[in-house]
Amino acid sequence: MCFFQTSADHKFANIKPRIGKCFFLLLLLFCSLNAQSVENQFQVEIVVSSQNADTNQTQIKALLEKHLQLIKWRDNPRTTLIEWQRLLSVAPQDVKKLLATEGYFSPSITTALDKKGDASIARLAVDLGAPAVINKVDIRFSGAITQQEKKISPSVDELQKEWLLPIGETFRQEYWTLAKRRLLTSLLVERYPNASINNSKAEVNMESHTVALTVEVDSGPVVQFGELNIEGLDRYSDSVVKNLNPIKPGSIYSQTDLLTFQTRLQESGYFKNVEVTAETKSANLESAKSENNHAPIKVVVEENKSIKEMCIRDRYCLKVMRSNSNAAMVHM
Tell me, what CATH number does 87's domain have? 3.10.20.310
Comparing 105 with 4, the larger pLDDT belongs to 105
State residue 40's pLDDT score: 62
| Mean pLDDT in residue range 91-111 | 96
Residue 235 inside a domain? The answer is yes
Q: How many domains does the chain have?
A: 3
Give me the percent of the chain exceeding a pLDDT of 70.
Answer: 76
Same domain as 149, residue 167: yes
Instruction: Please check whether residues 171 and 155 belong to one and the same domain.
Output: yes
Q: Is the per-residue pLDDT at 88 higher than 80?
A: yes
Q: How many CB atoms lie within 10 A of CB 266?
A: 17
- 46 in the same domain as 114: yes
- Give the range of the structural domain holding residue 212, as residue numbers without chain letter: 133-218
Task: Reply yes or no on whether the pLDDT at 31 is more than 80.
Answer: no
Predicted confidence at residue 2, as pLDDT, reads 42
Cis check: omega of the bond before 166, within 30 degrees of 0: no
Judgement on whether residues 232 and 277 belong to the same structural domain of the protein: yes
Beta carbons within 8 Å of 14's beta carbon, 6+ residues apart: none
Report CA-CA distances (Å) from 116 to 12, 43, 88, 197, 200: 48, 10, 17, 54, 49
Q: Which residues contact 172 (CB under 8 A, 6 or more apart)?
A: 101, 102, 103
Residue 262 has a pLDDT of 98
176 and 228 share one domain: no
**In a shared domain, residues 191 and 164:** yes
Angle between helical axes of 57-67 and 81-100 (0-180°, round to 10): 130
Q: Does 2 fall in a domain?
A: no
Of 134-148, 206-220, 276-290, minimum mean pLDDT range: 276-290
How much is the average pLDDT of 75-89? 93
Residue 90 within a domain: yes
Q: Which of 218, 245, 270 is the last residue of a domain?
A: 218
Q: Are both 195 and 231 inside the same structural domain?
A: no
pLDDT at 316: 40
Residues 6+ apart with CB under 8 A from 236: 270, 303, 306
Residue 248 lies in a domain: yes
The answer to whether position 230 is within a domain reads yes
Please give the pLDDT value at position 314.
45
Residue 332 lies in a domain: no
The whole-chain average pLDDT of the chain stands at: 83
What pLDDT shows up at residue 305? Answer: 77
Tell me, yes or no, whether 62 and 113 share the same domain.
yes
Instruction: State the average pLDDT over residues 169-192.
Output: 97
Regarding whether 151 and 121 lie in a shared domain, the answer is no
In a domain, 84, yes or no: yes
Band the pLDDT of 55: cuts 50, 70, 90. confident
The one-letter code for the residue type at 80 is T
CA atoms of 208 and 130, how far apart (whole Å): 9
